[in-house]
Structure 1
Amino acid sequence: MNKLLNTLFAVSVACATSLAWAQPATAPAQATNVAPATPAAGPTSPKSLEAKVAMCVGCHGIVGYKSSFPEVYRVPKIAGQSAKYIAAALNAYKAGDRKHPTMRSIAETLTDKDVADISAYYENLGRESRKAAPEKPSREPSAQVAALLQKAACASCHGANMSKPIDPSYPKIAGQYSEYLFVALKAYKTENNTTSGRNNGVMGAIAKQFSNAELKALANYVGSLDSEMQTVPEPRFHSH
């Protein structure tokens, strides 16, 4: 419990100081709009779920909140993302396959049940106001981007509309913040860095085919599509 409380404090400080314009409100960081969760095993009390999600809302519960590591970008929308993908991502941070100091410090405190509960919470969060992504991309790519999409074979995993992956352990990416997508794609190219980068054989092989300018063009297009995901505001936080 002390480790969890220490982590919560450290994460709150990291989130509050990463950009001066995004400050938490004076009330304690607790989730008040807790959505139903599907626990890994056994019941989950609202209080314990609130404590788990409290580690997330300081960044992912503020619309437009930006991280400053390894560069400035809006943190990803995760409400409406697949629970299986969120769990895979958290476990990758926990194992060190995704190298991000703050996310790893959070993931290392989580049990398998914690991961399952948090993942289910965010999959369900905002469901009542969610619009399903169209079956086809909501806008056509330019000729350049169409060629890049074909070369990368994005649709073969993420679906033709970039929002229906062939396996729920793959992310929905349509409408995700383009600057986050760009940072994530570049991370798959990063090697021999102890604090930044992602280890994934498939995505690494794909990303390394492209220049950063090409990755940015891909990210800008995918980020412009209609999305099932959103950032659901946490009432106890506000952005400036």
Structure 2
Amino acid sequence: MHAQDNPAGDPVNGQKKAAMCIGCHGIPGYRASFPEIHQVPMISGQGAKYIVSALNAYKKGERKHPTMRGIAISLSDQDMADVAAFYASHQAPASTAVAPAPSAAVAELLKKGNCASCHGEGLNKPIDGTYPKLAGQHADYLYVALKAYKTENNANVGRGNAIMGGMAKPFSNAELQSMASYIGSLPSDLQVVPNAKFR
């Protein structure tokens, strides 16, 4: 790839461009109602490369979500890089929390899914910048996202990622919910950072 294919992000410009993001991602406890009621994901503290990757997936229609697609289509590569740099710059306070041990059943599910092989130690240190940090993410959002990888032939819902589709499809929804609940309880770099206008 050429350098212009991956522009450097500017967090200061990203803050100016994040106006369309803050109405959902900048309000603590904010819930979406599509495709079902769930807390919108925390993106503050997420890796910049992952945020750009996710926005591009919405733009291309690989991730199906009408609102997010409409937003992503409106963004240039530079806009995405700047917004991603802004959200990646939000550092969570240092935590001394110890990760709770999973139940035997959940430990077996995580092993079967091989989650740490991509999402890294504590599911918070992805092995590639385009993969998300999962630890501490809202459990209800994680559950909706995992189910989306199992959804096929739906114009408005679903995620077209072959790797995650292969990982999610062998699990029942109850198993996905158990994994999401545990992952959501882990110490995290993720947080909701309210916009100054809402503080």
TM-score (norm 1): 0.76
Instruction: Quickly say closer, same or farther: Cα 1:55–1:171, change in 2 above 3 A.
Output: same
- The aligned counterpart of 1:10 is none
1:144 to 89, 105, 120: 105
- The aligned counterpart of 2:115 is 154
Q: Between Structure 1 and Structure 2, which shows a larger proportion of helix residues?
A: 2
2:14 touches 2:85 (CA, 8 Å); kept in 1? Answer: no
CA–CA distance in structure 2, aligned partners of residues 55 and 191 of structure 1: 29
Does residue 108 of structure 2 align to residue 108 of structure 1? Answer: no
CA–CA distance in structure 1, aligned partners of residues 11 and 158 of structure 2: 36
TM-score (norm 2): 0.91
Instruction: Quickly say closer, same or farther: Cα 1:111–1:164, change in 2 above 3 A.
Output: same
- The aligned counterpart of 2:7 is 40
Any idea what SS the aligned residue of 1:55 has? Answer: helix
Pairs aligned (count): 194
Alignment of structure 1 residues 72-151 onto 2, 5 Å? 72-125=37-90, 127=91, 129-131=92-94, 138-151=99-112
Q: What's the offset of the Cα at 1:177?
A: 0.2
Any idea what SS the aligned residue of 2:121 has? Answer: coil
In terms of Rg, which structure is larger? 1
- The aligned counterpart of 2:126 is 165
CA–CA distance in structure 2, aligned partners of residues 45 and 173 of structure 1: 22
Q: Which amino acid aligns with 1:120?
A: A
1:133 touches 1:227 (CA, 8 Å); kept in 2? Answer: no
- The aligned counterpart of 1:216 is 177
Any idea what SS the aligned residue of 2:42 has? Answer: coil
Q: What's the offset of the Cα at 1:236?
A: 2.3
1:81 touches 1:229 (CA, 8 Å); kept in 2? Answer: yes
Does residue 159 of structure 2 align to residue 182 of structure 1? Answer: no
1:62 touches 1:231 (CA, 8 Å); kept in 2? Answer: yes
Gaps of 5+ in 2: 1-5
Once the two structures are superposed, residues 81-114 of structure 1 have per-residue CA deviations (whole angstroms, 9 ceiling, x without a partner) of: 0000000000000000000000000000111100
Gaps of 5+ in 1: 1-38
Q: What's the offset of the Cα at 1:131?
A: 2.0
1:82 touches 1:172 (CA, 8 Å); kept in 2? Answer: yes
1:133 touches 1:163 (CA, 8 Å); kept in 2? Answer: no
CA–CA distance in structure 2, aligned partners of residues 49 and 168 of structure 1: 19
1:56 to 3, 13, 21: 21
Q: Which amino acid aligns with 1:55?
A: M
Instruction: Quickly say closer, same or farther: Cα 1:226–1:91, change in 2 above 3 A.
Output: same
Percent identity between matched residues is: 56
